[in-house]
A and B are shown apart, each in its own frame.
Chain A
Amino acid sequence: MTTTTAPARTAAPATTTGAGRRRRRPFRLGGALLYVVLIVIAVIYIFPFLIDISTSFKTETDATNDPLGLLPPTWSVAAYTYLFANSDFPIWFVNSAVVTVAVTTGRTLFDSAAGYALARLRFGGRNALYAGFIAVMAVPGVVLLIPKFLVINQLGMFDSYSGMIVPLFADAAGVFIMKNFFESIPVAVEEAARIDGAGTLRTFWSVILPMARPALVTIVILSFQGSWNELAHFIVSTSSPDLYTLTKGVATLSSGAIGSAKRYPVQLGAAAIMTIPVAILFIAFQRRITNTASGAVKE
């Protein structure tokens, strides 16, 4: 595929003008080919989501007979009526929201406090502790499913909000990100604050945290997305239908009693709605997210 860019690139020195050194003529044969390739791939990546949305507005017959059409032959909101009026979907949504807000708040606080301490405060065992965080980060999540259930059960937290939320506070990767960030900002400001007599807690809260906004945004996005999309942890920490989250609930839509009837518009409508909050977050921070590793994470 790099061959496609070749003409444009090699031709570049010839087309440079005095006005702009890096300005190259965009539309050469190679350039045009690049756009065609990219647009085709983009369509492949976007098309499934368009099908999802359009199918959720189809009748069940149309969903089966015309799975490709982007415009429903007859528009129907039956799927959404069912989801909101006749199913537990609203409960799932609320549960997901509660868990996500709690987990995001907790992680932001815990991660930034621990990251700050590891980056700046001097205390015995700091390096060992840091090594511990790194080691823990390497433990694969799925391997922990059965073990986590055992502990949650033992602590009497099974089937409760606390069992759903508190274990998700564990986030070594977030601590790592925050530590890296705090190490990248100048130490002068906080030392000035400390010498002015502000305690560590005070310095942290009113001097450090406001400065850490870019990194905090990172943690918020990762935590929000992580806990909103989490499935496995809720499978092992709850069983009561009252505590179903969107992920667990929608999973039962596709595999449970309803699934055998293959109510595709309902399934896909639910899938579309559960994607919206993350999509909003994603669009709001699109620049930050896709510009990769800038700002928060020290490269």
Chain B
Amino acid sequence: MTSATARVPVRRHMAGIRRGQAASGYLFTAPAVIVLVVFLVIPIFMALWVSFSDWGGRGSPFASGVHFVGLKNYGALTGGGGLAEQDFGTALRNNLWFVILVVPTQTVIALLLAVLVNNRILKGRGFFRTAFYFPSVTSSVAITVLWYFLFNPTGAVNQLLGAVGLHGPNWPADASGVLHDLLSLVGLRTGPGFLVNGSFLGVTWWDWLSGPSVGMMIIITMVVFTTSGTFMLLFIAALQNLSQEVEEAAMVDGATAWQRFRLVTLPQLRTTLFTVLTLGLIGTWQVFDQVFVGSQGDPGKTTLTPAYLSYVAGFQNQDWGQAAAIAFILFAIIVFFTLVQRWVLRERGVSRRRMRRNGFDRNDSGEYAAADRLLTAAAVAGAVQNRDSSGGSL
């Protein structure tokens, strides 16, 4: 129908089709748009209002009895010396250590798995991929239940440790920070005065430096176990897109395998690395399921996370203003760290020619390629973990 003879008489007909198209366009997008607006966009604005109000959970937050209280809810979290501030500071401390441990570990393991599995001469690739990816598709609830069984004081992990002569801790009940524990090994049991006396968000500097608690290590290992498979798939996809020529050229030049990996492969994986780190950061600041099912913030509030604290503030303490405020601060934190990450890993003036040599498409402006890949990956990873607990990657 694109032939020149057909085009002319068809034109008027096409105009009608266009008009019909507009109507269908709205009709087709309407369901998705309505659902997203009602259950995603409106909630954000409603919660924004609640975070500035004293709504107590009864009736509508727009009823006349509900008052605007300004920044009171935010203030109680970031200052004032109350329990709310201390809990919030503790939750931030916990989650910060969680992120510091989980994001690099899962990224390195995912990359390692991808490189191992991507080997062309490997037989049974499908089996290994399946084995590594399976934990990512199972429910976070099932994995949490399993993990707390493995880590119970007389559980599988401690038995394995016992087999090599180590005495495992009482994992779920041990609130001591891992870094504090290490320092006490060298005799440093209490921090220096300037760290103990000063504090931020109701938590002393010394306690900020505690490291994740032993109890938190359960959740840390669990999350690494379940997310490394998802990110492995992203790395595999990236590895398969690399051009073999550069690698082979390096091989001819006599580069060792490690040199080839570090100097040839890794730079080309930059975009994917960025994606994985960003998705990791976004996901790890949202730990909720594991805490809800496994620890409820115990031991000693050391597995409290902002996401879980927000839930507790709302649903248990009926302090909805504070719950919403925590959610928005968490939102800001996630956006902040994503931007920092973007800035740190920014492209440092890579020339067009270099990009082409690195296997980028000739017609891409690199920026578009990066954005598109990030979005694809985000979509693919189901916006990762907590969004729908779907680590599904296709």
**Chain A interface residues (CB < 8 Å from chain B):** 1-3, 5-6, 8-10, 22, 24, 26, 31, 34, 37-38, 41-42, 45-46, 48-49, 51-52, 55, 64-65, 67-68, 109-111, 113-114, 116-118, 121-124, 126, 129, 132-134, 136-152, 154-155, 166-177, 180, 188, 191-192, 194-195, 199-201, 204, 218, 221-222, 225-232, 235-236, 246-247, 250-251, 253-255, 262, 264, 267-268, 270-272, 274-275, 278-279, 282, 286-290, 292-293, 296-299
Contact = CB atoms under 8 A, between A and B. Distances in A.
Interface of B: 1, 10, 13, 17-18, 20-29, 31-33, 35-36, 38-44, 46-47, 50, 60-61, 112-113, 115-117, 119-123, 126-135, 137-150, 152, 154-156, 159-160, 225, 229, 233-234, 236-237, 240-241, 251, 256-258, 260-261, 282, 285-286, 288-289, 292-294, 296, 307, 310-311, 314-315, 320, 323-324, 327-328, 330-331, 334, 373, 375-376, 378-380, 382-383, 386-390, 392-394
Contacts of B44: 139, 144, 147
Given A48-B146, A154-B60, A254-B294, A147 B46 contact: yes
A274 B237 contact: no
A167 B149 contact: no
24 contacts: A2-B257, A2-B258, A8-B121, A38-B122, A41-B113, A45-B132, A51-B150, A68-B159, A68-B160, A121-B24, A122-B21, A132-B33, A136-B40, A136-B41, A140-B334, A147-B46, A151-B42, A154-B46, A191-B1, A229-B139, A236-B315, A247-B141, A272-B142, A287-B126
A41 B293 contact: no
A-B pairs with the 3 shortest C-beta distances? Answer: A123-B25, A226-B388, A147-B43
A191 B17 CA distance: 10
Contact of A289 (B241, B383, B394): B394
A10 to B, nearest CB: 7
Interface centre among B10, B33, B148, B334 (most CB of A within 10 A): B33
Given A148-B39, A151-B43, A253 B145 contact: yes
A16 to B, nearest CB: 12
A289 B257 contact: no
Given A68-B156, A134-B375, A175-B32, 12 more contacts: A10-B251, A24-B121, A46-B131, A142-B330, A150-B46, A151-B46, A154-B61, A195-B10, A225-B137, A226-B388, A275-B142, A293-B233
Contact of B379 (A24, A137, A152, A274): A137
